[in-house]
Structure 1
Amino acid sequence: MTAADRFVERVDALVTERPAAVIAVFLLVSVVAVGGLAGITTSAGADQFTQDIPAQRALDDIDEEFETSIGGSATSAQLIVTDGNVLSRSTLIRVLETQDRLESRSTLRVRSTSSHADAIAQRLDPSAETPGERRDAVAAATPSELRAAIADADAAGAVAPQVSVDYNPTAQQAGATIVGITYDLPDAATTARVTELQTQSVGVVDSVPGNEAGENAILFGDGILQSEITALLTDTAIIVFPAALLLILGFLVFAYRDPIDMAIGLVALLMSLLWTFGFMGYARIPFSDSLITVFPLLLAVGIDFGIHIVNRYREERGEGLGIAAAMRTTTDQLLIAFLLVTITTVFGLASNVVSPFEPNRDFGLVAAAGIVFTLAVFGVFLPAAKVLVDRRRERLPIPEFGTTALGSGGSRLGRVLHVGVDLSRVAPVAVVALLLVAGAAGGAYGTGVNTEFSEEAFFPDEDRLETYSNLPEPLAPTDYTFLRVLTLFEEEFERSFVGSVTLYVDQSVRDDDALELIDRTTRNPPDTFETTDERRADATSVVTVIEDRAERDPEFAALVDRNDRLGTGVPDRNVDEVYDALLDSPARGQARGYLAADRGSARIDYAIRPGVDNSEAVADVRELAERTPLEAVPTGDLVVNEAVIDRLTASAIRSLIAAFVLTAVFLALSYAYLEGKAVYGLLNLVPVLVTVGLLVGSMRLFSIPLTPINAPILSVSIGLGVDYTVHFVHRFVDEFKAGLSVDEALDVTIAGTGGALTGSMLTTVCGLGVLWLAVIPLLRDFGVLLALGVLYAYLCSILLVPSLVVVWGRYGDRVGLGLGDGLRAESADRAD
Structure 2
Amino acid sequence: MTAVDRLIERVDELVTDRPMAVIVAFLVVSLVAAGGLAGITTSAGADQFTQDIPAQQALDDIDEEFESSIGGSATSAQVIVSDDNVLSRGALVRILETQHRLESRSTLRVSSTSSHADAIARQIDPTAETAGERRDAVAEATPSELRAAIAAADESGAVAPQVSVDYNPTAQQAGASIVGITYDVPDAATTARVTELQTRSVEVVDTVPGNDAGENAILFGDGVLQSEITALLTDTAIIVFPAALILILVFLVFAYRDPIDMGIGLSALLLSLLWTFGFMGYAGIPFSDSLITVFPLLLAVGIDFGIHIVNRYREERGEGRGITDAMRTTTDQLLIAFLLVTITTVFGLVSNVASPFEPNRDFGIVAAAGIVFTLVIFGIYLPAAKVLVDRWRERLPIPEFGTSPLGMGGSRLGTLLHVGVDLSRIAPVVVVAVVLIGGAAGGAYGTGVNTEFSEEAFFPDEDRLETYSNLPEPFAPAEYTFLDVLTLFEEEFEQDFVGSVTLYVDQSVRDDDALELIDRTTRNPPDTFETTDERRAASTSVVTVIDDHAATDPEFREVVERNDRLGTGVPDRNVDEVYDALLDSSAEGQARGYIAEDRGSARIDYTIRPGVDNSEAVADVRALAERTPLEAVPTGDLVVNEAVIDRLTDSAIRSLLVAFALTAVFLAVSYAYLEGKAVYGLLNLVPVLVTVGLLVGTMRLLDIPLTPINAPILSVSIGLGVDYTVHFVHRFVDEFKAGHSIDEALDITIAGTGGALTGSMLTTVTGLGVLWLAVIPLLRDFGVLLALGVLYAYLASILLVPSLVVVWDRYGDRVGLGLDGNLRGSASDRTQ
Give the TM-score normalised by the residue count of structure 1. 0.98
Q: Does 1:210 align with 2:210?
A: yes
Q: Check if 1:622 corresponds to 2:622.
A: yes
- Alignment partner of 1:469 is 2:469: yes
User: Which letter maps to 1:438?
Assistant: G
Q: Tell me the distance in 2 between the aligned counterparts of 1:327 and 1:766.
A: 29
How far residue 196 of structure 1 moved from its aligned partner, in angstroms, is 1.7
Deviation readout 1:759-810 (Å, 9 max, x if unpaired)? 0000010110000000100100000000000000000000000000000010
1:800-821: CA deviation from partner (whole Å, max 9, x where unpaired) = 0000000001000110001111
**Aligned partners of 1:381, 1:515: CA distance in 2, in Å?**
72
| SS of structure 2 residue aligned to 1:523 | coil
Q: Which amino acid aligns with 1:73?
A: S
Letter in 1 for 2:262: M
Is structure 2 residue 142 aligned with structure 1 residue 169? no
Q: Aligned ranges for residues 371-382 of structure 1 at < 5 Å?
A: 371-382=371-382
Cα distance in structure 1, aligned partners of 2:552 and 2:823: 94
- Partner residue in 2 for 1:118: 118
* Secondary structure at the counterpart of residue 111 of structure 1: strand
SS of equivalent residue, structure 2 residue 320: coil
User: In structure 2, what is the equivalent of residue 674 of structure 1?
Assistant: 674
CA contact (8 A) 1:461 1:776 kept: no
Quote the residue 2:187 is aligned against. Answer: 187
Query: 2 CA distance for matches of 1:373 and 1:293?
Result: 17
Q: Which amino acid aligns with 1:587?
A: A
1:797 corresponding residue in structure 2: 797
**Which residues in structure 2 correspond to 1:44-59 (within 5 Å)?**
44-59=44-59
2:480 maps to what in 1?
Answer: 480
Quote the residue 2:830 is aligned against. Answer: none
Alignment partner, residue 684 of structure 1? 684
For residues 497 and 453 of structure 2, what CA distance do their matches in structure 1 show? 11
1:283 aligns with 2:244: no
Aligned mates of 1:242, 1:312 — CA distance in 2: 29
The whole-number CA distance in structure 2 between the counterparts of 1:673 and 1:148 is 90
Secondary structure of the residue that 2:78 maps to in structure 1?
strand
1:27 has 2:27 as partner: yes
Structure 2: unaligned runs, 5 residues or longer: 826-832
Deviations 1:478-509 (Å, cap 9, x if unpaired)? Answer: 00122211111111111122111000011111
Asked whether 1:400 is paired with 2:384, we answer no
Alignment check: 8 A CA contact 1:774 1:780 kept: yes
1:292 pairs with 2:292: yes
Q: Which residue of 2 aligns with 1:102?
A: 102
Corresponding residue pairs, total? 825
Instruction: Spell out the pairing of 1:79-158 with structure 2 (5 A cutoff).
Output: 79-158=79-158
Look up the SS of the partner of 2:79 in the other structure.
strand
> Which residue of the partner structure matches residue 707 of structure 1?
707
1:824 Cα deviation after fit: 6.7
The secondary structure found in structure 2 opposite 1:802 is helix
Deviation at 1:170?
A: 0.9
Measured after TM superposition, the shift of residue 187 of structure 1 is: 2.3
- 1:732-770: per-residue Cα shift (whole Å, max 9, x none)? 000000111111110100011000000000001011000
Partner of 2:496: 496
2:333 matched to 1:333?
Answer: yes
Whole-Å Cα distance in 1 between the matches of residues 112 and 776 of structure 2?
Answer: 35
Q: Distance in 2 between matches of 1:805 and 1:83?
A: 74
2:828 corresponding residue in structure 1? none
- State whether residues 739 and 823 of structure 2, in contact with CA within 8 Å, keep that contact through their aligned partners in structure 1: no
Aligned residue for 2:279, secondary structure, equals helix
- SS state of the match for residue 293, structure 1? helix
1:551 aligns with 2:554: no
Report how far residue 127 of structure 1 moved: 1.5
Q: 1:131 and 1:558 mapped to 2: Cα distance?
A: 33
Between the two proteins, what is the percent identity of the paired residues?
A: 87
- Partner amino acid, structure 2, of 1:399: P
- What's the CA shift string for 1:96-142, capped at 9, x where partnerless? 11111111122222111111111101111111111111111111112
2:683 aligned counterpart, secondary structure = helix
Q: Deviations over 1:259-301 (max 9, x none)?
A: 0000000000000000001000111111111100011100000
Show the 5 A alignment for 1:298-309.
298-309=298-309
The answer (yes or no) to whether the contact 2:671–2:681 under 8 Å persists in 1 is yes
Amino acid at match of 1:273: L
Q: Is 588-597 or 480-489 further displaced after alignment?
A: 480-489
Moved more, 34-43 or 179-188: 179-188
Secondary structure at the aligned position of 2:280 is classed as helix
Q: Aligned AA for 1:425?
A: R
**Structure 1, unpaired ranges of 5+:** 826-832
Partner SS state of residue 42, structure 2 = coil
How far off is 1:48 after superposition?
Answer: 0.8
Q: What displacement does 1:457 show?
A: 1.1
What's 2:778 paired with? 778
Cα separation, 1, equivalents of 2:821 and 2:16: 36
Q: Report if the CA contact (8 A) 2:710-2:781 is conserved.
A: yes
When structure 1 is superposed on structure 2, of 716-725 and 609-618 the one drifting more is 609-618
Mapped to 2, the partners of 1:591 and 1:183 lie a distance apart of 20
CA contact (8 A) 1:672 1:678 kept: yes
SS of residue matched to 2:80: strand
Q: How does 1:249-398 map to 2 (within 5 A)?
A: 249-398=249-398
| AA of the residue aligned to 2:697 | G
- One-letter identity of the residue aligned with 1:106: S
CA contact (8 A) 1:509 1:602 kept: yes
- For 1:244, the equivalent position in structure 2 comes to 244
Name the aligned partner's letter for residue 134 of structure 2. R
Tell me which amino acid in the other structure corresponds to 1:160: A
User: What's the counterpart of residue 540 of structure 1?
Assistant: 540
Runs of 4+ in 1 over 4 A off after TM superposition: 822-825
| CA deviation after TM superposition for structure 1 residue 354, in Å | 1.0
Match of residue 231 from structure 2: 231
1:812 paired with 2:812, answer yes
1:201 is paired with a residue of what secondary structure? helix
The match for 1:16 is: 16
* Counterpart residue number, 1:73: 73
Q: Output the amino acid matched with 2:757.
A: L
SS at structure 2 position matched to 1:509: coil
- 2:524 matched to 1:528? no
Q: Distance in 2 between matches of 1:427 and 1:497?
A: 58
- Structure 1 distance, partners of 2:576, 2:181, is 30
Q: Distance in 1 between matches of 2:153 and 2:71?
A: 27
| Mapped contact 1:74–1:187 kept (Cα < 8 A) | no
- Provide the residue aligned with 1:830 in structure 2: none
Q: Does structure 2 conserve the Cα–Cα contact (< 8 Å) formed by 1:737 and 1:824? A: no
Which residue number in structure 1 is paired with residue 453 of structure 2? 453
Match of 1:828 in 2: none
Q: Say whether residues 1:506 and 2:495 are aligned partners.
A: no
Write the deviation string for residues 627-662 of structure 1: whole angstroms up to 9, x where unpaired: 111110000011011111111111110110000000
SS of 1:168's partner is coil
The residue aligned with 2:517 is 517
Show CA shifts across 1:678-710 (max 9, x none): 000000000000000000001111011111110
Q: Alpha-carbon deviations, 1:143-171, whole Å to 9, x = none?
A: 11111110100000000010011111111
Q: Which moved more, 1:311-320 or 1:460-469?
A: 460-469
816-825 or 432-441: bigger deviation: 816-825
CA contact (8 A) 1:501 1:634 kept: yes
Determine if contact 2:741/2:824 at 8 Å carries over to the other structure. no
The 5 Å alignment of 1:643-792 reads: 643-792=643-792
The answer to whether the 8 A contact 1:739-1:824 is kept is no
Partner of 1:829: none
Distance 2:560 2:823 in 1: 92
Deviation, structure 1 residue 223: 1.5
Q: Is the 8 A contact 1:461 1:775 kept in 2?
A: no
Contact 1:538 1:607 in 2 (8 A): yes
RMSD of Structure 2 on Structure 1 (CA):
1.0
Report if the CA contact (8 A) 2:509-2:602 is conserved: yes
Deviation at 1:714, TM superposition (A): 0.4
Cα distance in 2 for partners of 1:241, 1:2 equals 42
Q: Is the 8 A contact 2:740 2:823 kept in 1?
A: no
